[in-house]
Structure 1
Amino acid sequence: MLLSLFISSVVFLRGHLVTSERILLAGVHVPSHLQQLQEVGEALDKRGHSVYIVIDEDFPNREKLVKPGITAVTFHSTDIHFPRYWSETATHGLMSMILGKEAQSVILSMQMGMQDCSNMMQDDVFMSKVTALKFDLLIFDGFFYCPCNVILASRLSIPAVFVSCSFLGWNARVSINPAVTPLVIFDYSDRMTFLQRLVNIVVYVGSTVYKVNEHNTTLLQKFAPGATSWTELQQQTTVLYIITRDHLLEWPEPQMPNVIRIPGVTTRPAGELPRQLKELMDAASDGAIVLSFGGTVSAQFPTEVISKFFNAFSQLKQTVIFKMNGTYVTMPINIPRNVHLLSWLPQNDLLGHPNTVLFITHCGNNGQYESLYHGVPMIGFPLFAEQSHNAFRMVDHGYGLRMNILKFAADELVNNIHKVLNEKSFKMATQKASDILKSQPMTAQDTAAYWVDHVLKHGSEHLQTGAMDMSLYQFFMLDILLFVLVVSFLSGYVLKTIFTVVCRKCLRKQTKQKQL
């Protein structure tokens, strides 16, 4: 009896379910993408589910990346035609693109993502393992450049949950109005000019009709022959869409019950810092500035860029924590005394320290929400992808200032730091956003886990709109418009014919009367 009581108490305290489901996570092999998937997975683990994550066995430091409570299922890469996202070749290419030395290749980025999926699906040992585990649900990264992870759901005949910071609403048949909802590739707000609305609508329609991310259809035909495109496969298998951004950084927009927004999925109350870092932060009586450009760019910035940062920071009294995890051509000789270089940062915990006064960021979605959650203003240096849009929305909402990594001067950075720290509007705006985020009834992680539980228990039919069964022309009401135009034309033609006949008869009658 005591044992039963103890077990019941543990189940109650941890929020475990009566039944445990097996859930598989699959995403793009980029640390920030894998992190947000695992945040959802960690919350599901606390609810008693068994959570696994797909990861390349060659992924660097994968043992440290995988969170406690989540089991890694590895696949082996045998066929590599394109560099992998974490490879030195890919990193050098990305930095060259950032520095303007070569054009960005969207196609290459998509091919790199598809390469992971191809290796995963062609690894017979891996596929036998995930088949034998009999998963109940797949949670996949819906990243635009790499839509192929959903193929596992089709192959395993299980439903899927879409998780991403980017979302083309019409693909999920959400009635988005492009006149007030900008795409993340543009520096537009919800108050667009005529030309901006025209461009946004044209690209929105074009992106929906013409699928620019439809690469490696051979992989699709081989492992999911029932679908003609990756978008169609997503629509067939996805039961829930989880989006990691909302109106606090974007702008309000309509959504359906099967679209759940969880802003700040990587945010949480600040945890205990490592001893040396805690001592450093506690001693920062004039405040601390955190600088991080994320995990994708292994910061191979040229010496002149690093020198400008050091020059600016040497003029400040604040302590600067600078994440520098890359290989540099030549490190500047003189590192300012107030600058501390670290290869890894507990970013959320640092931003939550009471002495942190500013976050200098590349404008990744997760980092921006972490900064808002802790009420820390920002200076953004967008580097690639949707980060330009993210920097624009940050400025538009009054959370910080934007700068150009190629053109900034040290004095300009110093002036902007003083402006953000001294003008109260930035702190007030971020503190208000922090209060709103913290006032939510559930955390982002728990909200995601609740809705995943919901569809596991109740299915998703009651959450989905009938528009999912419509073709695009029906969804856009083009058939209705065509019908109205045809009816209007025919009605006009009939009325014109009747009017002509009547007029002719009247004219004939008048002519006869005159002749008499």
Structure 2
Amino acid sequence: MLVWSIGSSLAEEGHDVIALTKTNFETKKLKHFEKNIKTWQYQPIESYFDQFRGMEKQLLQSGIKRALKGQPPEMRADMIEYLYNETIAIVENKELMNKIRDYKFDGAILDGFLLARFFVIIPYHFGIPIFTVTESQIDPVFQPISLPSYIPHLLSPFTEIMSFTERLSNFFTYIVLFNPTLRNLIIPQMPTDYLFKKFVRDDKIKHWDDLIAKSELFIITRNHMLEYAAPTWPNAVVVHSITVRPSKPLSENFEKLVSKHPDKKIVYVSFGSHGDLLPVSISLQLLEAFRSMDDIHFIWSYRFPENESINFPSNVDIVPWAPQNDLLGHDRVSVFITHGGNNGQSESVYHGKPMLCIPLFAEQPHNAVRIAYRKYGKYLFLHHFSKEKLQFLLREVLNNNVYAKNVRRASEIIKSQLVPDIKRITHEIVTVTKYGSSHLKSYGQSMPFYQYFSLDMLIFLVWASISALIVFSLVSYYAYKKLKSFFISCMKKKVE
């Protein structure tokens, strides 16, 4: 929804905004944007679409199972293949491609998520300026200024203060991710064959990263109120979040819900759009933990399997959907139990609500650790999960005022901005479409990783030092032999 939010803001300022969507796109996702954004549709590869929905679910379930064992998530090559073929479905649609060419777009806003990067080939082919939205301030495609010595990678559970072994691990992660050849040894390779042969004429462009790196602006949705403070390039716009906004009054049903137990603190619980994939065993443990904390009213956005016969406690209300932003902005809600998604954390900080994070997969462990580091709350990994630990940590977040104090301070700083993030982004996009971004780009963003990290200089210095040491050793040895021979000769003469 990040890209849609930017498009909607541009449309509100009078710009024409058009979105490319599949013919089977779920229209409910357009609820907040359809009045502002026009859509051009293309026919997806149907046989692949059903497979993709199954693959997506399997990947998420696999991620949770691996999290229960304390293992990192895995990337599936078949999902990459699906999205690659989706891009081919667009470029093979001659009518749509001609329509894009003839419209003379001033810019294209793209999701910088790794699996969505194939779509960059379309604006690149037509010479349309590219604006990339990314959640990472150390995305290799724009050669971040920050160093691995103090900025942990998005998929690592480290903070900015790392031990020697953590810095070593983080350093090698940087090296691998900055080099597409090395990265392909770990992550399934992103194909280039057909699309590159058809649309890319520049021999210097060898990977999808090279295309994304041509973006005029990078919009980074992780600012210093959540993420670790780090320098970045002038063509990177760092914002707290695109989706946060002031809360609206709750509907009558939800207002009744939050007023149901006026003498109890309210804890809102949600594990995001994929929270229904949470193992039933974990969900039942959560329910039992909530049952024994009857001085707290829990509002949980979740769908239990219909075949489960469950005795729900009186202090827990299960709802299939909740207006999360508006609930977090309500005065009666005290704490947010979350999986640690970036949007949910951003909304919670914006409204000044401390958190208990139970990360599931992907970058969520990183997000959870930084929440504890900032003292906005606590976290509990799935492979350490127990009812007792959950209760202890939740009591700590509820009763220790330091978490509420810190997150409220962060909320006040964010709300004190003179220009909202979304307006700042639209202003930057409009300015760049008018004047270009050459004044914002640095040569450092296009340097090979070994030059950027001065690895060639380090290798040269090591080689020079070793060479000097060898030469010094040889000269010293030669001088020693000469002096030894000289003294022996002198001693012999004295004896004679």
The TM-score bracket by the shorter chain reads 0.7 to 0.9
TM-superposed CA distance for 1:508, in Å, is 10
Per-residue Cα deviation, 1:376-414 (whole angstroms, up to 9, x for no partner): 111111111111111111112111122244663444433
TM-superposed CA distance for 1:334, in Å, is 2.0
Question: Does 1:228 find its partner at 2:206?
Answer: yes
Report which stretch shifted further, 360-369 or 139-148: 139-148
Question: Does 1:375 find its partner at 2:352?
Answer: yes
Residue number in structure 1 paired with 2:299? 321
1:151, 1:233 within 8 Å by CA — same for their partners in 2?
Answer: yes
TM-superposed CA distance for 1:56, in Å, is 2.1
Question: Does 1:134 find its partner at 2:104?
Answer: yes
Residue number in structure 1 paired with 2:183? 211
1:377, 1:420 within 8 Å by CA — same for their partners in 2?
Answer: yes
Per-residue Cα deviation, 1:419-443 (whole angstroms, up to 9, x for no partner): 2111111111111111121122222
Whole-angstrom CA distance in 1 between matches of 2:83 and 2:246: 33
Alpha-carbon distance change, 55 to 317 in structure 1, aligned in 2, over 3 angstroms: farther
Determine helix, strand or coil for the equivalent of 2:40: strand
1:357, 1:377 within 8 Å by CA — same for their partners in 2?
Answer: yes
**Gaps spanning 5+ residues in structure 1: where?**
1-34
One-letter code of the match for 1:126?
A: L
Whole-angstrom CA distance in 1 between matches of 2:197 and 2:46: 16
Alpha-carbon distance change, 371 to 491 in structure 1, aligned in 2, over 3 angstroms: same
Alpha-carbon distance change, 319 to 131 in structure 1, aligned in 2, over 3 angstroms: farther
Equivalent residue runs for 1:18-57 within 5 Å: 35-57=1-23
Whole-angstrom CA distance in 2 between matches of 1:381 and 1:221: 41
2:423 to 424, 439, 446: 446
Alpha-carbon distance change, 321 to 408 in structure 1, aligned in 2, over 3 angstroms: same
Whole-angstrom CA distance in 2 between matches of 1:316 and 1:456: 56
Residue number in structure 2 paired with 1:288? 266
Determine helix, strand or coil for the equivalent of 2:115: coil
1:321, 1:339 within 8 Å by CA — same for their partners in 2?
Answer: yes
TM-superposed CA distance for 1:501, in Å, is 9.1
Q: Report the aligned-residue RMSD.
A: 3.2
1:399, 1:427 within 8 Å by CA — same for their partners in 2?
Answer: yes
The answer to which structure, 1 or 2, has the higher relative contact order (CA under 8 A, 6+ apart) is 2
1:37, 1:141 within 8 Å by CA — same for their partners in 2?
Answer: yes
2:65 to 92, 99, 113: 99
One-letter code of the match for 1:161?
A: F
2:117, 2:208 within 8 Å by CA — same for their partners in 1?
Answer: yes
Report which stretch shifted further, 275-284 or 47-56: 275-284
Question: Does 1:330 find its partner at 2:307?
Answer: yes
Report which stretch shifted further, 154-163 or 53-62: 53-62
Alpha-carbon distance change, 309 to 180 in structure 1, aligned in 2, over 3 angstroms: same
Whole-angstrom CA distance in 2 between matches of 1:317 and 1:112: 49
Determine helix, strand or coil for the equivalent of 2:114: coil
Q: What percentage of residue pairs aligned between the two structures are identical?
A: 28
Whole-angstrom CA distance in 2 between matches of 1:389 and 1:442: 29
Alpha-carbon distance change, 491 to 360 in structure 1, aligned in 2, over 3 angstroms: closer
Question: Does 1:362 find its partner at 2:334?
Answer: no
Alpha-carbon distance change, 406 to 176 in structure 1, aligned in 2, over 3 angstroms: closer
1:70 to 30, 34, 37: 37
Alpha-carbon distance change, 306 to 508 in structure 1, aligned in 2, over 3 angstroms: closer
**Gaps spanning 5+ residues in structure 2: where?**
none
Alpha-carbon distance change, 271 to 219 in structure 1, aligned in 2, over 3 angstroms: farther
Alpha-carbon distance change, 399 to 114 in structure 1, aligned in 2, over 3 angstroms: farther
Whole-angstrom CA distance in 2 between matches of 1:508 and 1:111: 74
Alpha-carbon distance change, 178 to 336 in structure 1, aligned in 2, over 3 angstroms: same
Alpha-carbon distance change, 504 to 98 in structure 1, aligned in 2, over 3 angstroms: closer
Alpha-carbon distance change, 345 to 508 in structure 1, aligned in 2, over 3 angstroms: same
Determine helix, strand or coil for the equivalent of 1:289: strand
Alpha-carbon distance change, 505 to 384 in structure 1, aligned in 2, over 3 angstroms: closer
1:376, 1:430 within 8 Å by CA — same for their partners in 2?
Answer: yes
